Structure 1
């Protein structure tokens, strides 16, 4: 099995470990037993840490990953993270970050995690899906943007700039009446952008499912093909989002949103220039800025 191992295989990882258990060496069986009982912890342990915990060498841990068909331990770890990240409670996320010994360690690990996530996102994102998404936004009669809980921050940011460019944007807000009332007129001429990250909101899925039934084009911005909204999407923009702590990192998602705004804006640059010319006149007349 190579590095392009399908995401779907992580769903059967536990059953694979159980099936291969009789063939494992003594040390590998210790690892297998620990993973089966504590896979939510192992998903965020280094190979060295896992080896120390169960009493085997780091090389034994690497060979265990190879025996399961992974090119290395990081691939096994990624599969475990994919398997459990939507099930982690906030308490468990706090627990997995308890080894951050001081403020500098936190600063270093969190920023490095964001950098790695952006780099991986750039390498793996579907360029055609990104291009089609930008074109769909330009052609849409109306654009609906959905983001629940922490994802609402991204939805607001995207909506603010798209509204400058296109002037047909509606951010679905939970404080402005029922969400279904806000999209009741959605149809095949419209686009809905659904931003969804673990722990996935049931409400988001329900809203997107309704939009799908009405024939709208669905663009999902999410971290996994397992995400409920991804199963409904016409275009999925996958964002790498390994968790560094109990706080969801929005940095990679914000980068994709920035790129999408610029891509749409460059196709409408003459209109944008005129718009900002008018704004500058207003800002100057009413002394908006120092």
Structure 2
């Protein structure tokens, strides 16, 4: 089961339902009706909610073909993460960080996202993306909705290092008008996480139709961004609440910026020396001397 597409989970529960024990049927019924809430419950809490023991919940997961309850829980989370509305996410917030303060709960969740990203990310793919950045005639970066901030961050720093970077976003002109000169010599970097912005997916499909190279920074190889990409960098973004967790994606973007900078070390040293003079002359930053 753990290798089967997550969308088959509900069907599997329905097929196995007649053969389940009385207690397991209670769990199955609850998950079929309230899978959005069950996805963030511990085995003990799910057991309490339906009136069975924690061990019954574990056996239920085994009956479905999972090695343990955490695998079933992860499968449920994968199933719902692109389907939950913001209102549903707000309702789930208490379940996600219920045992700790929001500060501690969210920071721990973000630490876990970075840990998982370090395990999942493909180092060769990362190097391939860096090579594509230097090979590209022009680099287009697109990340919409909640991904706008990190797309702008990537664009801001790459623009200080390179001179062929364009951030595509909502504005006076349409997305496709901003990409009208896209060719097969260019690179498009798409950034997106659940709930995926439809316009980002369309932009990457447009890039492929123009034979441009496409790199995606997203949460899974099953992501719709990944299906259009030549290179996919995986960054864990499991939500801790109604707010998307973009800590791990930002870390990956930081790594991209630093890797590009290291290859252009002499150029950026000259650029930043120039910028320091400009910043001081025009008082971009506070230069008040410390006593």
Do they fold alike, i.e. is TM over 0.5? yes
Q: What is the match of residue 10 of structure 2?
A: 14
**Please, which of 32, 41, 46 is the counterpart of residue 42 of structure 2?**
46
SS of residue in 2 equivalent to 1:278: helix
Q: What is the match of residue 201 of structure 1?
A: 197
The CA RMSD measured in Å over matched residues stands at 1.7
**Please, which of 78, 95, 98 is the counterpart of residue 94 of structure 2?**
98
Distance of 1:193 and 1:239 partners within structure 2: 14
TM-superposed deviation, 1:64:
1.2
* TM-score, normalised with respect to structure 1: 0.94
TM-superposed deviation, 1:23:
2.3
TM-superposed deviation, 1:104:
6.1
Q: What is the match of residue 255 of structure 1?
A: 251
**Please, which of 139, 142, 150 is the counterpart of residue 138 of structure 2?**
142
Equivalent residues in 2 for 1:217-256, closer than 5 Å: 217-256=213-252
Give the direction of change, closer, same or farther, for the CA distance of 1:48–1:256 in structure 2 (3 Å limit): same
Asked if the contact 1:135–1:264 (Cα under 8 Å) also holds between the matched residues in 2, the reply is no
Q: What is the match of residue 184 of structure 2?
A: 188
SS of residue in 2 equivalent to 1:11: helix
- How many residues end up aligned between the 2 structures? 286
Give the direction of change, closer, same or farther, for the CA distance of 1:32–1:148 in structure 2 (3 Å limit): same
SS of residue in 1 equivalent to 2:124: helix
1:50-69 per-residue CA deviation (whole Å, 9 max, x = no partner) reads 00011111111111112222
Asked if the contact 2:109–2:240 (Cα under 8 Å) also holds between the matched residues in 1, the reply is yes
Distance of 2:82 and 2:282 partners within structure 1: 48
Equivalent residues in 2 for 1:56-205, closer than 5 Å: 56-99=52-95, 105-205=101-201
Asked if the contact 1:100–1:106 (Cα under 8 Å) also holds between the matched residues in 2, the reply is no
1:228-262 per-residue CA deviation (whole Å, 9 max, x = no partner) reads 11110111111111111101111111011001111
**Please, which of 16, 27, 33 is the counterpart of residue 31 of structure 1?**
27
Give the direction of change, closer, same or farther, for the CA distance of 1:40–1:102 in structure 2 (3 Å limit): closer
Asked if the contact 2:201–2:225 (Cα under 8 Å) also holds between the matched residues in 1, the reply is yes
Distance of 1:284 and 1:107 partners within structure 2: 37
Distance of 2:13 and 2:277 partners within structure 1: 67
Which consecutive unaligned segments of at least 5 residues does structure 1 have? none
Asked if the contact 1:148–1:196 (Cα under 8 Å) also holds between the matched residues in 2, the reply is yes
TM-superposed deviation, 1:99:
4.4
Q: What is the match of residue 210 of structure 1?
A: 206
SS of residue in 2 equivalent to 1:97: helix
1:31-56 per-residue CA deviation (whole Å, 9 max, x = no partner) reads 11111111111111111110001111
TM-superposed deviation, 1:285:
3.7
Give the direction of change, closer, same or farther, for the CA distance of 1:84–1:101 in structure 2 (3 Å limit): closer
TM-superposed deviation, 1:288:
3.6
TM-superposed deviation, 1:287:
4.1
TM-superposed deviation, 1:224:
2.0
* TM-score, normalised with respect to structure 2: 0.93
SS of residue in 2 equivalent to 1:280: helix
TM-superposed deviation, 1:101:
8.1
Give the direction of change, closer, same or farther, for the CA distance of 1:265–1:101 in structure 2 (3 Å limit): closer
SS of residue in 2 equivalent to 1:98: helix
